[in-house]
Amino acid sequence: MFFRLMYHVVLPIYVVFVIFSSITLDKSQNNFLMILLGSIFITSIYLERVYPRSFIYIAAIEILSLLLFHFTSQLNWCFSIYIILLSKFLFQIKGVLKGIFLGFVLIAFYTVIRISYTPINAYSLLAVVSDFLTSLAVVLIIQYIIETERAKNLLEEEKKREELRYQEEKMKLLGEMAGGLAHEIRNPLTIIQGFLKHSKEYNYNIKPWYDLIISEVSRMNKLTVEFLQFSKPNVSLYQTFAIHECLKRVISLTESKARSSGHQIIYTDSNPDLFLPMDFDKMVQVFVNLINNAIQSMVKDGDITIRLFKVENKAVIEISDMGVGIEEANLEKIFSPFYTTKSDGTGLGLSICQKIIFKIMEERLR
């Protein structure tokens, strides 16, 4: 804005002022030629905005018309026009060295023309040095402005990029959360559906399972609440439980589904004396996911074996199935969200399990 004011308003005014002064002081070589050259110079300044692609040619016309204008006006005041023109070029070319070179070339032209109409003496020679130093100072000041402006723009761009990244991250997380919610609600829903189907088709008495069904419904409710409270810190209920109790609960939740798919859950190596500080419901969620995967991996009837044992001071929980297994090349992918080989899978099961386990480990490290 300020620079446009300088090039499109101040500069033409200055040219008119030089024309006026040159005529008044009777310095001009040829009034008509001087006015014509001044007009060409100003027109080319405006043309540059209209044809930015022809910058080089227009710049050449600007320089040439200025030199001739200076020569016909025979006024040293043209120096300011050279300096304003130089500052304009500096915004278009890159690099301090190029700027200094251009400044020196313009001042050299100016000096040659000035010497053509002024006597050469000590004053005139010292003025040359002063002119070169002025051009150097202008180049450095403009370069400083350009650098500051560039740094400011970079900072603003970085801020914008950061904001965009944050938005993208939020959207990604939101997508994952929505998928996760659907996934985690699907597990208890299938369990409840299994019970209801059994009850409807075989008149199976589900009364003994009422408590289990109610607790599953409240688990779904809890999950929904937790997802909705996503922005607030996730308060987990860490208490010390016997892992055996947790596994018993998992088995009671998954057994009917396994049986209806023709599989059997075998839990022999139990160890009631192994305790772990954990969020009970979340641990149940982990094992239900693992057992669901085991059930889905077996095409034929097969066993799902659960073992709980101690190795040194660590509790080991082992869940194995007789299914297709996982190819070694795919092992590193199974914890990635949305990785699935199933047509109806979300691929979130194991990634959620991993997150829960990491959270427990984090909690233990505190």
| Closest among 255, 192, 239 to 219, alpha carbons compared | 192
Among 171, 324, 358, 363, binds ligand ATP (CB under 6 A): 324
Question: Least Å distance between CB 350 and ligand ATP?
Answer: 3
Radius of gyration of the chain (CA): 41
CA 9 from chain centre, in angstroms, equals 42
> Pairing between strand 264-267 and 303-311?
parallel
Residue 346's binding partner, choosing from Mg ion, ligand ATP, none, with beta-carbon cut-off 5 to 8 A by kind? ligand ATP
With respect to ligand ATP, which residue has the nearer C-beta, 228 or 324? 324
Among all chains, which residue has been given the structure tokens 């419901």?
Answer: 281
Among all chains, which residue has been given the structure tokens 């559906």?
Answer: 193
> Quick one: tokens of 100?
């200094």
Residue spans of beta strands (DSSP E) within the chain: 239-242, 264-267, 275-278, 303-311, 314-321
Residue 204 contacts ligand ATP per CB under 6 A: no
Question: Least Å distance between CB 292 and Mg ion?
Answer: 5
Residue 305 contacts ligand ATP per CB under 6 A: no
- Separation between Cα atoms, residue 27 and residue 236, nearest integer Å: 90
Residue 340 contacts ligand ATP per CB under 6 A: yes
Question: Least Å distance between CB 325 and Mg ion?
Answer: 15
Amino acid at position 350, single letter: L
Question: Least Å distance between CB 352 and ligand ATP?
Answer: 8
With respect to Mg ion, which residue has the nearer C-beta, 103 or 349? 349
With respect to Mg ion, which residue has the nearer C-beta, 34 or 288? 288
Residues 12-31 that bind Mg ion (CB under 5 A): none
Residue 244 contacts ligand ATP per CB under 6 A: no
Residue 246's binding partner, choosing from Mg ion, ligand ATP, none, with beta-carbon cut-off 5 to 8 A by kind? none
Q: How many CB atoms lie within 10 A of CB 321?
A: 21
Residues 256-295 that bind ligand ATP (CB under 6 A): 289, 293-294
Cα angle: 347, vertex 352, 356; to 5 degrees: 165
Site of interaction with ligand ATP (CB under 6 A):
183, 289, 293-294, 297, 321, 323-326, 334, 339-342, 345-351
